[in-house]
Chain A
Amino acid sequence: MSNTIETRSLTRRFGDFIAVDGVDLSIHAGEVFGLLGPNAAGKSTIIRLLAGILRPSSGEASILSLDLFSQTEQIKRLIGYVAQYFALYPDLTVLENIAFYGGLYGVDDSNRLEQQLELYGLTGFKNRNAGLLSGGYKRRLAMACATTHDPELIFLDEPTAGIDPVTRKELWELFYQLSTSGKTLFVTTHYMEEAERCNRLAFLNHGRLVAQGTPAEIRASLTDQQVYSCEISHKPELTNALVNFPGIALVNQFGSELRIIASTRVSIDQLEQLISKYYSDSFQLIAVSPSIEDAFMSLTDQGAK
């Protein structure tokens, strides 16, 4: 098992509830791996399992060639973990936060701390209380705190949730920078456009893995389905009729765009006929190649059914 992370039927139960259900993951060294899934799919639970703060109920896992069950403490030294909520001390300054978390791993080299401030663009704020930073800078600080000990593998739980697109782009540049320097990144997100940024990704739904691969592989996973797009305004009756039409997997309205995922058994003519019943103006229905979001929607929908 030379992969950075390798799991076999990793499972975690909370009482009767199965939060993570037989998950097999393979994450290669140096890649940015994305774990996608709707809220409550079990993304954070998987991260906590892999970071060694939650015991798996069953299954196997190796992290950086160490056994998750018996070598948890060794693993902890080699990984970084950025929790979903800013795990920072608001009453400590930026530098004090970094120094504290570094200290937990035995790092006390002030050059290293300066280096971290520099890398995450925090030098100008180093004496400011962490509680006074903006959301984006809090994320940067959380990342700096989690990486001062130079971990091989970094877990980021929803690192970009609630962050504006510009800041989000900056954060991704940081992720790539880490990845280029040889680090492996494990990122959870529910932003679809971020899925395309990952080297490889996996979809999680109700604790189960429904797909895993490169973005291209994921898009190609809709083998027996075709995606159609149509510029048309929203009509509830039409949406209803489409949803109930046999062979149609998913109907989604994005502003003035209607997106339909249908089985390849359904012909484009059948769809045009159906739409024209509810829509008298002219319209143009075209077959398009599936996006990650189409794949995601279709896969999670199947999971739900």
Chain B
Amino acid sequence: MKLILALMRKEFIQLRRDPRLVGFIIVMPIVLTTLFGFALKLEPDNVRMAYVDKDTSMFSNLIKTNIWSEGYFDLYEVDSVADIQNEIRLGRARAGLYIPGNFSAELSENNQPSVYLYIDGTMPSLATAMDNNSSAITDDAVTADMYFSDPDDPLIVIAQDPFNLEVETLFNPDKIETWFFLPGVVGILIMQVALILTSTTVVRERENNTLEQLLVSPMTRSQFILGKIIPYVIISLIDFYAILGFSWLVFDLPAPGSHAVLFLLAITYLAALISMGLAISTISQTQQQAIFLSIFVLIPSVLLSGFIFPIEAMPSYIRPVAYIIPFTYFVEIIRGILLKGNYFIELIPQFLALGAFACVFTLFSIFRFRKTLA
């Protein structure tokens, strides 16, 4: 027992001598618990819904008001059904509502007219949640005002279900779960490989005492950083296509409309990740710290990116966090390419965001690397 105590004491002393690591061990779980506790909900609210109301009657207004008062949807008007689909395709709306022009006429004829609800099928929990919430539209309580009674005999209710709700799931009509998740899983696996490999690479040179030897050579800082980045880009790229190829073969994942755009995504995403890994490497003193920091980045990236938990379900003050995560843009782009058939030009903002991450982290690494020599 004494012997074990001696070893235990030494381990505690060593931990205490690495205040950064202690910080990570204690602060990381607290920060993440707080963040996830507030942020992670499956039930979305403020889901943007594009609508077309060709009827503009008391009844169509009633439907919109009911949807609005449920609190899940933010409604905004567009011109046509094609616009609704386009808004969803571009990710500006997650849902759409179409009320045809003859709605109130048909309703009064007791012909059970249809109202159309469109749902973005590329967002897993969002689609399910909206499916559930859409019942709000047809709830008895809601539709009660639409019941028509026979004016002569108020006890006879003419229609039990005054209108139909037709729900159409776009882009992943069968809601195949592997399609929801596989494109994102590719991104997570790549992130893990790229982050851990690169975040330890500079620190390892330092721990091996080889960094100093590199510094006395005529190699410049940019050469050093590039020489460090490129091999990992190549390795991760091979990994990326291996995982995707497997997903195409085994899980029938749809192929992209343009392989060039997919390749561009791979390159920009990897550049963002690897430069981020390098940035971690330049601020870590030991490989242990680097791995901890990588995980610190990895877990929130997955959970806060909208990959599983919809960004719309997060409180508004946490939502900005989702937009400083490269993975968020990766998920949007890859779902866009593989499931929605987005064109490159429609994804430029997301690509620019990834490119910006790569630039910022690369510059930061070069700057930090300079400082470590001073």
Contact = CB atoms under 8 A, between A and B. Distances in A.
Interface of A: 48, 51-55, 73, 76-77, 79, 81, 83, 85-90, 101, 104-105, 145-146
Contact of A53 (B208, B210, B215): B215
Contacts of A77: 218
A85 B216 contact: no
A83 B212 contact: yes
Nearest to B210: A87
B189 interface: no
A101 B210 CA distance: 10
Contact of B209 (A51, A76, A83, A146): A83
9 contacts: A76-B216, A76-B217, A76-B218, A79-B216, A81-B212, A81-B216, A87-B209, A104-B217, A104-B219
Contacts of B217: 76, 101, 104-105
B28 to A, nearest CB: 31
Interface in B7-57: none
Given A76-B217, A104-B219, A53 B373 contact: yes
Nearest to A84: B209
Nearest to B216: A81
A89 B216 contact: no
A53 B212 contact: yes
Most buried by B among A51, A53, A146: A53
A88 B374 CA distance: 23
B214 interface: yes
Contacts of B219: 104
Interface of B: 208-210, 212-219, 373-374
Contacts of A90: 208
Given A53-B373, A55-B374, A88 B210 contact: yes
- Identify the interface centre among B208, B216, B374: most chain A CB within 10 Å of its CB: B216
Given A53-B373, A55-B374, A86 B209 contact: yes
Contacts of B218: 73, 76-77, 104-105
Contacts of B374: 55
From A79, A81, A104, residue with most partner B Cβ within 10 Å: A104
DSSP majority for the A interface?
loop
Contact of A85 (B209, B214, B215, B373): B209
Contacts of A73: 218
B216 A51 contact: yes
A76 B215 CA distance: 9
A86 B210 CA distance: 8
Nearest to A51: B216
Contacts of B373: 53-54
Given A83-B213, A89-B208, A90-B208, 16 more contacts: A52-B216, A53-B212, A54-B373, A55-B374, A76-B216, A77-B218, A83-B209, A85-B209, A87-B209, A87-B213, A101-B213, A104-B214, A104-B219, A105-B217, A105-B218, A146-B213
Contacts of B213: 81, 83, 87, 101, 145-146
Contacts of A52: 216
Contacts of A85: 209
B369 to A, nearest CB: 13
A73 B208 CA distance: 24
Contacts of A88: 208, 210
B211 to A, nearest CB: 8
A85 B209 CA distance: 7
A154 to B, nearest CB: 11
> Top 4 closest A-B pairs, CB basis?
A87-B213, A104-B217, A81-B216, A85-B209
A54 B216 CA distance: 10
A90 B205 CA distance: 11
Contacts of B210: 87-89
Contacts of A89: 208, 210
B371 to A, nearest CB: 12
A83 B209 CA distance: 8
Contacts of A54: 373
A188 to B, nearest CB: 15
Contacts of A146: 213
A91 B218 CA distance: 24
B208 A87 contact: yes
B291 to A, nearest CB: 19
B275 to A, nearest CB: 23
Contacts of A48: 212
A221 B314 CA distance: 79
A55 B217 CA distance: 16
A37 B183 CA distance: 62
B223 to A, nearest CB: 9
A90 B209 CA distance: 11
B368 to A, nearest CB: 16
A262 B217 CA distance: 48
A21 to B, nearest CB: 20
